[in-house]
Amino acid sequence: MKKRGLIRQNSPWMEILSRFSRNKLAMLGAIVLLLLILSALFADVLAPYGMDDQDVSQALQGPSAEHWFGTDKFGRDQFSRVLYGGRVSLRVGIVAVAVALVFGGTLGVIAGYVGGKVDSVIMRIMDVLMAVPGMLLAVAIAASLGAGLGNMMIAIGIGNVPGYARITRAAVMSAKGNEYVEAARATGAGNLRIILRHILPNAIAPVIVQATLGVASSITACAMLSFLGLGAAPPTPEWGGMLSTARDYLRTHAYMAIFPGLFIMITVFSLNVMGDGLRDAIDPRLKD
Amino acid sequence: MAKYICKRLLQMIPVLLGVALIVFTLMYITPSNPANMILGDTATPEQVAALEEELGLNDPFLVQFGNYILGIVTRFDFGTSWFTGKPIVGELLLRFPKTALLAALSVVLSAIIGIVCGVVAATKQYSIFDNLATAISLVGVSMPSFWLALMLCLLFAVKLGWLPVSGSYGWEYWVLPVVTLGTSGAANIMRMTRSSMLEVIRMDYIRTARAKGQSERMVITRHALKNALIPVITVIGIQFGNLLGGSVLVESVFAIPGLGKYGVDAIKQRDLPAVLGSVLFLAVTFSFVNLLTDILYSFIDPRIQTSLGPSRRQKRAAAGKAEEGAA
């Protein structure tokens, strides 16, 4: 608090960044997440085996120096598959949130900015979507569209739309009432300009927090749909799909179920603490 | 109060119609042809065409949707399973009690653990208990429920042999599923209770209560907890929805013959009316639970009761806050 006078000279975003960097747990989350992203990006280089290299003579081996996480029934190296699986999970998580952000965000901005009847109609539609728990909606959509990565991203994305619509709407509504918006209008700025230049930058903070946490929940949803057989088609490695296979070997080869789940948990955990840290950094009043 | 409940019940009608429309549209756009699915690969094109006509698949979309709704409203008919040819509603009703019991037990467990831990953590902020509980709750929210299910199975059923893995015959079969589903709920509820309590504890009326010499216990339970509970109840309502979603997986891991397992089996058989019937059924349940949470608000907060239910703005604010906490 004493440093306030110094920090105030920085831009609001710098201030947020400096508060965020002082939150040890959130920084840990950010570093772990960065490592996970890098390991997924460079899976080709890091993985000791290919993602679908089969060696039946090595089937169902426990963890060893050669196969850190053991092998599955085709003798595929589980460590390599977990690394490659990160690509799928992170991609689905990010794309699903992007889908939800684009649709939910646009609807929320329109509802919050225009207000009146348009607002009621949009929000009633969102109420309908919210009447179905997000996971269930995703399951229903994925089941109807059929298995596959693309369909899964759409399914999870649509399930998330109402959440973003509500948050963006609330943020836009509170930003709309500010005097600088009135001032912008007085200088003759059009609606689109007001929204893009004046309202969005001031309304985006809660949306960013929600998006970070949203990637976490989308990764869980992705694993869940794959676990149900609605995800990526084999042999594409995916954490949820690997767990689904591991289920049949729980009694005899438990290691198969441990590592993919551990990676899901670590990813979701680091995104969650990062999201919490961002929220505290953006709005220090919310911090306990 | 009765007027408020009636009003809310009436408001549910358009929402549920909307849900039904979504569900029906999903069924409509699916690439597989029901007539082919029912008759199998050996059917002749004539047979397929005849069945399509019989099922009304050639009618316009709105006519089909109207018939679907009319079937549900007048005959409580959710359609017929493509796989067994039996009416879906019978199967759903048969399985519903198991899912309801599972969800109810998990909600109760998570509410008790979540609220108690949340209150203790907030009253002893930054103590060892607080830090430990916060850390555990962070892990709890981050753990996918089906993985936790597998790990609990591994530990308590496979390694230790204390509890059975699958089925639903006696109380011991319910322990692992309830703990699995209750964990993330308890974590979320604890986080919300803690932050809500911390906010309330700093209020002037708490200082007043302490100043007038009331025991700490009374201050916490009477003055603080009662006021802190409103966002917590919202979270519990949201948790119930998550539980219904989570039950889909947990039931199939533990082989509990509930709605969720029925839905998953239906997905595997590509039995779409059964999938969507169970989703619709769970959505209706969720809507009733939401109504119930709103009624609960008014019991806890008399200010709401006098105005016959929270205004939209109040509710949005509470829900927004709760979502932030839940997320």
> Which among B31, B263, B320 is the nearest to A166, CB-wise?
B320
Please report which confidence band the pLDDT of residue B234 belongs to, taking 50, 70 and 90 as the band edges: confident
Q: Which of B147, B200, B291 to mutate to test the interface with A (most CBs of A within 10 A)?
A: B147
Spell out which residues of chain A touch residue B153, defining contact as CB-CB under 8 Å: 250
At A288 the pLDDT is 45
> Is the Cβ pair A224, B249 closer than 8 Å?
yes
> Which among A132, A133, A273 is the nearest to B138, CB-wise?
A273
Spell out which residues of chain A touch residue B18, defining contact as CB-CB under 8 Å: 124-125, 127-128, 131
How far does CA A131 lie from the centroid of its chain?
22
Kindly report, residue by residue over B236-266, the tens digit of the pLDDT: 888 887 788 788 888 888 888 888 888 888 8
Q: By CA distance, what is B19's nearest residue in A?
A: A128
Question: Number of CB pairs < 8 Å for A and B?
Answer: 152
Q: Which of B303, B25, B190, B171 is nearest to A128 (CA)?
A: B25
Q: By CA distance, what is B266's nearest residue in A?
A: A143
Check pLDDT > 80 for residue B132: yes
Q: Is A77 helix (H, G, I), strand (E, B) or coil?
A: strand
Please, which residues bridge with residue B87 across strands?
B80
Spell out which residues of chain B touch residue A272, defining contact as CB-CB under 8 Å: 138, 141-142
To the nearest whole angstrom, how far is the Cα of B24 from the nearest Cα of chain A?
10
Q: Which percentage of chain B shows pLDDT scores above 90?
A: 9
Spell out which residues of chain A touch residue B190, defining contact as CB-CB under 8 Å: none
Distance from C-alpha of A96 to C-alpha of A90, rounded to nearest angstrom: 10
Residues 6+ apart with CB under 8 A from A269: A29, A32, B138, B139, B142
At B117 the pLDDT is 94
* Interhelix angle A134-145/A149-176, nearest 10 degrees: 140
Kindly report, residue by residue over B149-196, the tens digit of the pLDDT: 888 888 888 888 888 777 767 777 888 899 998 998 899 899 889 988
Positive or negative, the CA dihedral A167, A168, A169, A174 is positive
* Interhelix angle B172-201/B312-326, nearest 10 degrees: 110
> Is the Cβ pair B246, A135 closer than 8 Å?
yes
Please report which confidence band the pLDDT of residue B315 belongs to, taking 50, 70 and 90 as the band edges: low
> Is the Cβ pair B19, A128 closer than 8 Å?
yes
pTM of the model: 0.83
Distance from C-alpha of A236 to C-alpha of B236, rounded to nearest angstrom: 37
Would you state the structure tokens that stand for residue A198, as one six-digit string?
Answer: 């004046």
Kindly report, residue by residue over B152-164, the tens digit of the pLDDT: 888 888 888 888 7
> Is the Cβ pair B267, A229 closer than 8 Å?
yes
At B326 the pLDDT is 44
What are residue B320's phi and psi, to 5 degrees?
-60, -45
pLDDT higher for B26 or B110?
A: B110
> pLDDT per position in chain A (288 positions), as tens?
444 555 455 677 788 888 888 888 889 999 999 999 999 888 888 878 877 777 777 777 778 877 778 887 777 888 888 888 888 889 999 999 999 999 999 999 999 999 889 999 998 888 888 878 777 888 888 888 888 888 889 999 998 899 899 889 988 888 888 888 888 888 988 888 888 888 888 788 888 888 998 999 899 989 888 888 888 777 888 888 888 888 888 888 888 889 989 999 999 999 999 988 888 888 766 554
Q: Is the ipTM above a cut-off of 0.90?
A: no
> Which among A125, A229, A243 is the nearest to B150, CB-wise?
A243
The letter for the amino acid at A142 is: A
Spell out which residues of chain A touch residue B244, defining contact as CB-CB under 8 Å: 133, 136
At A4 the pLDDT is 52
At B318 the pLDDT is 57
Q: By CA distance, what is B320's nearest residue in A?
A: A167
Q: Which of B24, B30, B33, B279 to mutate to test the interface with A (most CBs of A within 10 A)?
A: B279
Residues 6+ apart with CB under 8 A from A153: A92, A95, A96, A99
Element (H, E) at A21: helix A12-21
